[in-house]
Amino acid sequence: MTDERYRVQSLGRALDLLELIARQGRDGARLSDLARDLTLSKAATYAILQTLLAHGVIADVGEGQSRRYRLGLTLARLGELAVANLSLSDLALPILREMTEETGMTSRVAVLDGAYAVVVGRVDGPGTVRFGDALGRRESPHCSAVGKAMLAAMPRRDAEAILRQTGLPRRTPHTITTLAAMLRELTTVHERGYAVDDEEDVEGVICVGACVYDRAGTATGAISVTGLKPRQENGRIDELGQIVRRHADKLSASLGGSANRSLRAAG
């Protein structure tokens, strides 16, 4: 439920305007008709239209009295992103439950939002320890398993640009804080097919993640497991990596994608 006290009237009018334009379909809508239906002056309606045009949310065709307004391609792009994110989190939840049941650890699915990893779904592991990252919280990609997994899946120049943008701030004594070392780490992630946050974000906690691909072969997100660092770490971490990678491939398949690229390259 929304709080009426914090609603922005001008934004509400812009959204109402979009609804009116959408109803007109391919023919579009005239300024005079939109102003009448919104019970606004033509000047106020025109100002809103110009703002929407500037952001690509609507498009216009014609001139003068015959000028009409239609929905813009920006909405199509945003709609595709919204569907992709919803589909990924919805499809991922059963797989996250399987991973949690198999490992006893908390499982997560994340997407890249700009330069940061954002968790969009989580299944908590059993027991008293809870890793209560809020859904939607942005994580620095250099010290998270999901972030590293997605960086390793993209062209090196793109990954480097993101790392330069976010920086590599030190979170713990184990955090990788130089670009050269992180780029070497991403090469390792790509070769073995999974990423490890080895106490790099929080001391005593490890995360193991793997990338998820869509039908176009694009990295669309990543999944991971999180838990307290095991005493016998090396064998256990590699075992977790194989489990997460297997489930990431299953999620990729449900999106129409194929197995981890590093696996295919390694044969």
Residue range 186-212, pLDDT digits in tens = 999 999 999 999 999 999 999 999 999
154 close to 147: Cβ distance less than 8 angstroms: no
Mean pLDDT: which of 58-67, 145-154, 252-261 is highest? 145-154
Q: What is the mean pLDDT of residues 71-99?
A: 84
Reduced DSSP (H G I as helix, E B as strand, rest coil) percent helix, strand, coil of the chain, to 5: 55, 20, 30
Residue range 108-120, pLDDT digits in tens = 999 998 899 999 8
With bands split at pLDDT 50, 70 and 90, how would you rate the model's confidence at 78?
Answer: confident
pLDDT value, residue 135 = 63
pLDDT value, residue 201 = 93
* Assigned token pair, 157: 């120049």
DSSP SS3 for 39: coil
With bands split at pLDDT 50, 70 and 90, how would you rate the model's confidence at 136?
Answer: low
261 close to 191: Cβ distance less than 8 angstroms: no
In the predicted structure, residue 151 carries a pLDDT above the cut 70: yes
* Assigned token pair, 245: 């990678």
CA-CA distance, 195 to 220, in Å (whole number)?
16
CA-CA distance, 212 to 146, in Å (whole number)?
10
In this structure, the number of other CB atoms found within 10 A of the CB of residue 216 comes to: 9
115 close to 144: Cβ distance less than 8 angstroms: no
pTM for this model (two decimals): 0.66
Q: What is the mean pLDDT of residues 134-153?
A: 88
In the predicted structure, residue 70 carries a pLDDT above the cut 90: yes
